[in-house]
Amino acid sequence: EATASVDNETEELIQQATDILLRERTSIVIAHRLATIKSADQILVMDKGEIKERGTHDQLIEQDGLYRRLIKLQFTELVV
């Protein structure tokens, strides 16, 4: 993952560049840092090789599922 070992400012710059490069294109992005995919048109949440959830960031946040739990974990770690 391109943003795995960079500071927050560099991660934001990489994300902005990626958004420009992917605009108007179909792309598959595999991400562990969920901030990387928040603006995706469609997010597939996989667990043990199976698609468990599908939707936009906002749709998945509204559900009390795996994506929401992962978001809470990642962003809680950033705050602590």
- Across residues 51-76, what is the average pLDDT? 93
User: What does pLDDT average to over the chain?
Assistant: 86
* Inter-residue contact 15 to 27 (CB < 8 Å): no
Looking at per-residue pLDDT, the higher value among 66 and 23 belongs to 66
The pLDDT score that the predictor gives to residue 2 is 61
The pLDDT score that the predictor gives to residue 79 is 45
Looking at per-residue pLDDT, the higher value among 36 and 61 belongs to 61
13-29, pLDDT tens digit by residue? 888 888 898 888 888 88
